Amino acid sequence: MTQAEKKGSKTQERQSSLFIISALSPKVSALVSVGRFFTRKDSEKKRTHSKGKKMGWIGDQIDSIKSLQFRQVLAQAVSLGMIVTSALIIWKGLMCVTGSESPVVVVLSGSMEPGFKRGDILFLHMSNDPIRAGEIVVFNVDGREIPIVHRVIKVHEHQDTGEVDVLTKGDNNFGDDRLLYAHGQLWLHRHHIMGRAVGFLPYVGWVTIIMTEKPIIKYILIGALGLLVITSKE
């Protein structure tokens, strides 16, 4: 074969290769495009799955925190309930020990000055011993809700039963308490007496007076204390 024929043969092979490459090029490009499409889809799925995992984890953490806070608030509410229950139990215990339906009372007026001033707290005790003149007693009057703290100035003893009726008066008042008693009542009977004063604390009861005269302050204090107990992390 001559050199011219060899050159022609090489030229034909080159042209044939170019033709084959040019013919396959669109198909290869299409395959590459399809491969890239599926690769992109897989990447998006992985990213979505990963994002879903992350969002699920965050949601679980938020739910866990919410659950923890609810349990904490519930625990504090139970603690508050236990405190209130304990206070009631202590109060009932004092009633049993002292024999008085109200072991602690607050002086609300100045009728017993200078002995007891407004805001003083009195501790009461009630026994089976007869009440004598000169003792300071706390008593209820029919038709009145607030007890009265006054001194016994006179006693009337029944000879047949041994029961004692009493007449009271405020140390700072001009007359006896018959104007305060129920209509037509001249004496106090034993069931009117809540207890004898056996001790006192000066001015401590002013908190009770303020809360009684201004209920809004009472509600604010109770709400603040309750909120403090519930939200406390201790």
Instruction: List C-alpha distances in Å: 202 to 56, 214, 217.
Output: 63, 21, 22
For strand 193-201 and strand 121-125, is the pairing parallel, antiparallel, or unpaired? Answer: antiparallel
Domain definitions of the chain by residue range: 106-203
- Counted residue by residue, the chain has a size of 234
What is the distance between the alpha carbons of residues 140 and 168, in angstroms, rounded to a whole number?
A: 12
> Which one from 100, 111, 120, 192 is the annotated catalytic residue?
111
Work out the end-to-end distance of the chain between its first and last CA atoms, rounded to an integer number of angstroms.
104
Distance between CA atoms of 167 and 175, rounded to whole angstroms?
A: 11
This prediction's pTM: 0.59
Out of 17, 42, 86, 150, the active site residue is 150
Phi, psi of 152 (to 5 degrees): -80, 125
Q: Which residues of the chain have pLDDT under 50?
A: 3-8, 10-12, 15-25, 27-28, 30-32, 34, 37-38, 53-54
pLDDT in tens, 1-41: 554 444 445 444 554 444 444 444 454 454 445 455 445 55
pLDDT 10s digits, 98-125: 888 889 999 988 999 988 999 999 999 9
Could you confirm whether 150 is annotated as catalytic?
Answer: yes
How much is the pLDDT for 60? 62
Q: What superfamily does domain 106-203 belong to in CATH?
A: Umud Fragment, subunit A (2.10.109.10)
Please identify which of the residues 100, 120, 177, 192 carries the catalytic annotation: 177
Question: What is the reported pLDDT for 167?
Answer: 94
Q: What is the pLDDT of residue 54?
A: 46
Q: How far apart are CA 103 and CA 108, in angstroms?
A: 16
| Catalytic residue check, 177 | yes
